[in-house]
Amino acid sequence: MHNCDKRRHPKHFPQDSPMAPRSASKSAVPSDKVGVICRALRRAIIEQALEPGAKLPEDSLGERFGVSRTIARHALGQLAAEGLVELRRNRIAVVATPSWQEARDAFDIRIELERLVVRQLAGKLTKSQVAELNAHVDAEDHARDGSDAVSIRLATEFHILLANMTNSPILVRYVSEVAYRCCLTLSLYSRPHSSECAINEHRAIIAALVKGDEAKVMSLMHSHLDSVASRALVAPAPRRGRDLLDILAPYAEESEGGRVVKMPKVVRAR
Amino acid sequence: MHNCDKRRHPKHFPQDSPMAPRSASKSAVPSDKVGVICRALRRAIIEQALEPGAKLPEDSLGERFGVSRTIARHALGQLAAEGLVELRRNRIAVVATPSWQEARDAFDIRIELERLVVRQLAGKLTKSQVAELNAHVDAEDHARDGSDAVSIRLATEFHILLANMTNSPILVRYVSEVAYRCCLTLSLYSRPHSSECAINEHRAIIAALVKGDEAKVMSLMHSHLDSVASRALVAPAPRRGRDLLDILAPYAEESEGGRVVKMPKVVRAR
DNA sequence: AGCGCCTCAATTGCATGCAGTTTGACGGGC
DNA sequence: GCCCGTCAAACTGCATGCAATTGAGGCGCT
């Protein structure tokens, strides 16, 4: 097995998320064993403990979480439905590796959805909600020294927190999903810098929400996400040195003849 | 058992969908047995063969489709992730019964998403795509005499067809999901009339798309969906005589003291 | 040495079985 | 007659077992 073992046991998965105890999977999950696994994997993915392309064998998952393959499998199904993992018949599930175009699409959708969020929220936040938002941004600020992973997670959770305040489960679900996808993208195409300036933009959004200026806050959110996207999607080519083969795979058919890798028998089946 | 058996075997499920052989579940499904069940149930739901609240026991599903409960269960999980069915621990899965507010939210999201669709599509359609759209609307027209179920399905599929043309799998998925949800809503809150006028609106949208007028087509789509929504969501109270108890359940706490039903022991637990 | 075939461990696909929970009904008490 | 407690059937939650597929390394051939 080539590089699988390195990442098979990423750390020990954080078994419970501090925030988002409900979020997307509220109604989707039969029991909660599945829910626990989903949340853990989601978090591991957005913190980049699991990089795109990482393998997720049902056995290992089941063993790690103390459940049978059946449950692990079900969890993988849910995550696949969210677009976070890819399931191919008779093959090991892997963390999704969105193409550059898919990433771009995800951001486009995210912009529209989050504009909707702030439109619904403008001028309607309670004092305690504002306090909660400010506290969260403070936490983001505080985490600037820490790992990038935490910063990215917190930044994402800010947006989900906003969505939560709309009290629209559907909207929460979609915003969460698409935000997670965008996180995936970040770990694929972006450099480890990102978040810094985003914090101020978050503060500006809160201010505009409180002021109640719909148009203003929508445009703020738009440009905020636009800049996140453009910081992330600088070039349509993957930058960081990863699995090489795995990352190159999606480009197999549209290789424009640059430096060509040997690719022994990938050509055969694909 | 109250009214369960009547709908336990709705007809025989249409095993394959004429259109949408891929749609939302393309990447979500491990094998295709699950996919087949999902598609069949989705279709049965949007054609209102399965009404909101209808029970979906794993055994019956498995038996009907010739698979084990494991697979049926997995399929239900997927549909739950899409919001089409509700899964409660240790309880029989049921077709989702969105509240009026959820329905409103779904339409709001749908409007934004579909505006995005037509924005991306304006002026970019190929001849054959236009032909396909026209053919579809012709089919809608032709189906006006037929059952409401088919009309509703075709109207919904028109929107999904549009989304497909963006070549953005994510967008397709979200539009499909939310459109299906809106169908659910229609079968809950709307009267059997709807589609008639929608056909002309569809034609107008195609025309504007061809003309390439972004602003125009976005506003057309907006008002089209708005009018569908307002035709559907006339009153926040359910109209058609359905399960009574099931439908009234969500209103248990906000009963404004109109004619009260007896409700023998629903009060106890709920 | 290089190339292809073949075999085997690893892994998924799926059904079945058992245990626990809910449902709905029957029967006794008020 | 009505209400409540008890019970059996129905259903879900989950693990396990077996068959089928994959892909990776080894072997022989050129």
Write a three-state SS string for chain B.
CCCCHHHCCCCCCCCCCCCCCCHHHCCCCCCCHHHHHHHHHHHHHHCCCCCCCCEECHHHHHHHHCCCHHHHHHHHHHHHHCCCEECCCCCCEEECCCCHHHHHHHHHHHHHHHHHHHHHHCCCCCHHHHHHHHHHHHHHHHCCCCCHHHHHHHHHHHHHHHHHCCCCHHHHHHHHHHHHHHHHHHHHHCCCCHHHHHHHHHHHHHHHHHHCCHHHHHHHHHHHHHHHHHHHCCCCCCCCCCCCHHHHHHHHHHCCCCCCCCCCCHHHHC
B12 touches strand D (CB under 7 A): no
Distance of A25 CA from D8 C1′ (whole Å): 35
How far, in Å, are A50, B8, B259 from residue B254 at the CA level? 46, 31, 13
Q: What's the mean pLDDT in B157-181? A: 96
Distance of A16 CA from D15 C1′ (whole Å): 24
Picking from A42, A68, A97, the residue at the C-terminal end of a domain is A97
- Side-chain half-sphere exposure of A81, counting CA atoms within 13 A: 27
Which pLDDT score is estimated for A194? 56
Note the pLDDT tens digit of each residue in B231-254.
Answer: 877 655 544 444 444 444 444 443
Asked if the structure places residue A92 within a domain, the reply is: yes
Asked if the structure places residue B27 within a domain, the reply is: yes
User: Is B119's Cβ below 8 Å from some Cβ in A?
Assistant: no
User: Is A112's Cβ below 8 Å from some Cβ in B?
Assistant: yes
Partner-chain contact B112 A116, CB within 8 Å = yes
Query: Which of A37-51, A108-122, A239-253, B72-86 is predicted least confidently?
Result: A239-253
Chain A residues near residue B181 by CB distance under 8 angstroms: 170
Tell whether B163 and B228 lie within a shared domain: yes
Distance of B232 CA from D16 C1′ (whole Å): 49
Asked if the structure places residue B252 within a domain, the reply is: no
- The CATH number given to whatever domain includes residue A114 is 1.20.120.530
Position B264 pLDDT exceeds 80 = no
Position A58 pLDDT exceeds 60 = yes
Tell whether A155 and A90 lie within a shared domain: no
Tell whether A167 and A225 lie within a shared domain: yes
User: Is B178's Cβ below 8 Å from some Cβ in A?
Assistant: yes
Note whether B113 and A112 are within 8 A (CB). Answer: yes
Which pLDDT score is estimated for A17? 36
Per-residue confidence band for B89, with pLDDT thresholds at 50, 70 and 90: very high
Residue A19 or A105, more confident: A105
Residue A146 or A140, more confident: A140
User: Is A78's Cβ below 8 Å from some Cβ in B?
Assistant: yes
Query: B143: closest CA among B189, B195, B185?
Result: B195
A7 touches strand C (CB under 7 A): no
Tell whether A150 and A212 lie within a shared domain: yes
Chain B residues near residue A116 by CB distance under 8 angstroms: 108-109, 112
% of residues, chain B, pLDDT over 70 = 72
Per-residue confidence band for A48, with pLDDT thresholds at 50, 70 and 90: confident
Picking from A47, A69, A97, the residue at the C-terminal end of a domain is A97
Query: Which of A22-31, A186-195, B68-77 is predicted least confidently?
Result: A22-31
Picking from B97, B118, B150, the residue at the C-terminal end of a domain is B97
Which pLDDT score is estimated for B136? 96
Q: What's the mean pLDDT in B251-268? A: 36
Note the pLDDT tens digit of each residue in A69-87.
Answer: 999 999 999 999 999 999 9
Position A14 pLDDT exceeds 90 = no
Tell whether B143 and B224 lie within a shared domain: yes
Asked if the structure places residue B267 within a domain, the reply is: no
Tell whether B109 and B213 lie within a shared domain: yes
Position A27 pLDDT exceeds 60 = no
B188 touches strand D (CB under 7 A): no
Asked if the structure places residue A269 within a domain, the reply is: no
Domain containing B118 equals 100-232
Q: How many domains does chain A have?
A: 2
Q: What's the mean pLDDT in B77-87? A: 95
Chain A residues near residue B171 by CB distance under 8 angstroms: 105, 108-109
Average pLDDT value over all residues in chain B: 79
User: Is A225's Cβ below 8 Å from some Cβ in B?
Assistant: no
Tell whether A80 and A162 lie within a shared domain: no
Q: Which nucleotides of D are covered by protein (CB under 7 A)?
A: 10-17, 21-25
Note the pLDDT tens digit of each residue in B15-41.
Answer: 333 333 333 334 444 568 999 999 999
For chains A and B, CB pairs below 8 A equal 106
B92 touches strand D (CB under 7 A): yes
| Amino acid whose CA is nearest the C1' of C25 | B1
Query: Which of A29-33, A115-119, B17-21, B54-58 is predicted least confidently?
Result: B17-21
Q: What's the mean pLDDT in A107-122? A: 97
Q: Which nucleotide in the DNA or RNA is closest to residue B72, CA to C1'? A: C14
Q: What's the mean pLDDT in A102-112? A: 95
In this complex, the residue of A89, A109, A171 whose CB is nearest that of residue B171 is A109
Asked if the structure places residue B242 within a domain, the reply is: no
Residue A93 or A6, more confident: A93
Query: Which of A171-180, B44-53, B254-263 is predicted least confidently?
Result: B254-263
- The CATH number given to whatever domain includes residue B29 is 1.10.10.10
Query: Nearest-CA distance from B130 to chain A in Å?
Result: 23
Chain B residues near residue A173 by CB distance under 8 angstroms: 83
In this complex, the residue of A28, A89, A108 whose CB is nearest that of residue B30 is A89
Chain A residues near residue B25 by CB distance under 8 angstroms: 81
Asked if the structure places residue B206 within a domain, the reply is: yes
Tell whether A25 and A46 lie within a shared domain: yes
Asked if the structure places residue B219 within a domain, the reply is: yes
Per-residue confidence band for B183, with pLDDT thresholds at 50, 70 and 90: confident
